[in-house]
Amino acid sequence: MFKKQIQKSYLLYGGAIIIARGLEYVILFSAASLLTKEDYGELEYYKKFIEVFSSIIAFGFPSLILSYTRSSDSKTYFYFLSCMITLVLSVITIPLFSFYKLTFLITPLLFYALFFNGGITPSYLLVKMGGKKAAYYKIITSILFYTLLYFGLNYFDISSNLYPFGGTWLLPVFSIYLIFVFWNKKIVLIKLKKYWKLFRKLLVSSFTLVLSNFSNLMFLYTDIFLIKFIAKNPDVMIADFSFALNVAATLLLIPITLVQVDIEKLKQNIGYIKILNRRIIVLVFLASVILVTLYPILVRNLFELYEDTIVLFIILLIAKIFHSLSTLYGTNLLILKKFSLNLNVNLFFLALNIIFCYLGYILFGILGVASSSAIALGLRYIVLMHYNNKYIEQKYYK
């Protein structure tokens, strides 16, 4: 089934993803073992808050840079304009965040939007310098960020504010790099005006990407935010839910790595999706069996605070199986340029998941929330598979 020789791209891109996620898991599991459930639950809430709202102030610019830049100048000036608008949007959020006493989250939001994995700078490096250097950037950034979090957790007694701490300290460091890039490229006002006219026209498309990214992230984190706002003891419940979810979510390393590595093959050969889908199904099944076997051992020996989360884990693992199998189909819709369809699917299932999770919590508590997520992800998988099969058949019979 698999090629005997592993391509260098598999090692590079896959290695960058695995290193980044591996370091993240080191921090999360260390925090789960060192912190109280209250502190760990709040840490997870802040982490997910930063991830969701940084995608809003990034305003879809990472995808815009990847999709619409061709010449060297267009890449540089789009990067500059994206950074400036993101900075303006972060300033605009200050009054709102001040009202809710969340101003300490603005700097980590800005760090995530501009510099961290999935942000504007990684996209710019990918189109400007190629995948090799972009992968190195991802690895270096992850090592710096998670090393700082490790020291903050183990030596500076930082608990629930760990992720805001990391983003706040690294933002000035990476901003020096940003200033160096723009100084070296010598931004010219005449060219800036020229590219601003084009950039401004694309902001509508960018707003569509914002909605799509936001609805996708919110769909995945609906359960956490809902628990935070309606549970009587939310931080403890979020801790239980997030710990089990983090272990189950390791399944996502499989489709994310394989899809990102083979993205060019998917673009060039529409039939390749069937081959890649079979690989993902086999690996996800094998990984699921391993996780079901290891999880009880893990919580009974190393994380005894979470020993009562085994049933919750199994439900969330089912949810992540559907999520893992959906990743390829969601990406393929974007390759087929079905942006509106992808947005509509994400918005519909976001609304459905909110309703399901709310009713699930009212009726069955935290297990109801997990079950609701599994049902919504299962239905989303069926819909994405249906539309992919439909459009693939249309391409074949043209």
DSSP string, 355-394: HHHHHHHHHHTHHHHHHHHHHHHHHHHHHHHHHHHHHHHH
Average pLDDT of span 204-227: 81
Count: domains in the chain: 2
Same domain, 193 and 149: yes
Same domain, 261 and 173: no
pLDDT band at 378 (very low <50, low <70, confident <90, very high): very high
Report residue 202 CA to chain centroid gap. 23
Same domain, 60 and 142: yes
Tell me what pLDDT residue 7 has. 54
- Element containing residue 216 per DSSP (H, E): helix 203-230
Same domain, 363 and 231: yes
Same domain, 192 and 276: no
Q: Bigger pLDDT: 143 or 253?
A: 143
Q: Which of 173, 201, 229 is the last residue of a domain?
A: 201
Average pLDDT of span 94-120: 94
Please, where are the H alpha helices in 262-365? 263-268, 272-301, 310-335, 339-364
Tell me what pLDDT residue 13 has. 62
pLDDT band at 6 (very low <50, low <70, confident <90, very high): very low
Tell me what pLDDT residue 2 has. 43
pLDDT higher than threshold 50 for residue 253: yes
SS3 100: coil
Tell me what pLDDT residue 4 has. 41
Q: Which of 168, 201, 234 is the last residue of a domain?
A: 201
Q: What percent of the chain has pLDDT over 70?
A: 94
Average pLDDT of span 336-341: 80
Q: What is the mean pLDDT of the chain?
A: 89
CA pair distance 291, 295, nearest whole angstrom: 6
Same domain, 226 and 197: no
Average pLDDT of span 368-388: 95
pLDDT band at 319 (very low <50, low <70, confident <90, very high): very high
Same domain, 240 and 327: yes
Same domain, 192 and 96: yes
230, 112 contact by CB (below 8 A): no
Average pLDDT of span 113-125: 92
Same domain, 370 and 231: yes
pLDDT band at 398 (very low <50, low <70, confident <90, very high): low
- CB atoms near residue 84 (< 10 Å): 13
Residues 158-167 pLDDT 10s: 999 999 999 9
Q: Which of 154, 178, 201 is the last residue of a domain?
A: 201
Same domain, 221 and 197: no
CA pair distance 255, 326, nearest whole angstrom: 9
Threshold 0.85, pTM exceeds? yes
pLDDT band at 181 (very low <50, low <70, confident <90, very high): confident
Query: Cα separations (Å) of 57 from 2, 76, 145?
Result: 40, 19, 20
pLDDT band at 1 (very low <50, low <70, confident <90, very high): very low
Same domain, 186 and 322: no
pLDDT band at 198 (very low <50, low <70, confident <90, very high): confident
Which domain, by its residues, includes 114? Answer: 1-201
Query: Cα separations (Å) of 133 from 9, 52, 93, 280, 298?
Result: 12, 26, 33, 27, 37
Same domain, 81 and 191: yes
Find the Cα–Cα–Cα–Cα dihedral 81, 84, 87, 92, rounded to 10°.
-90
pLDDT higher than threshold 60 for residue 9: no
- CB atoms near residue 276 (< 10 Å): 19
pLDDT higher than threshold 90 for residue 141: yes
Tell me what pLDDT residue 8 has. 60
Tell me what pLDDT residue 186 has. 85
- CB atoms near residue 32 (< 10 Å): 21
Tell me what pLDDT residue 395 has. 64
CA pair distance 140, 27, nearest whole angstrom: 16
- CB atoms near residue 142 (< 10 Å): 20
CA pair distance 63, 175, nearest whole angstrom: 21
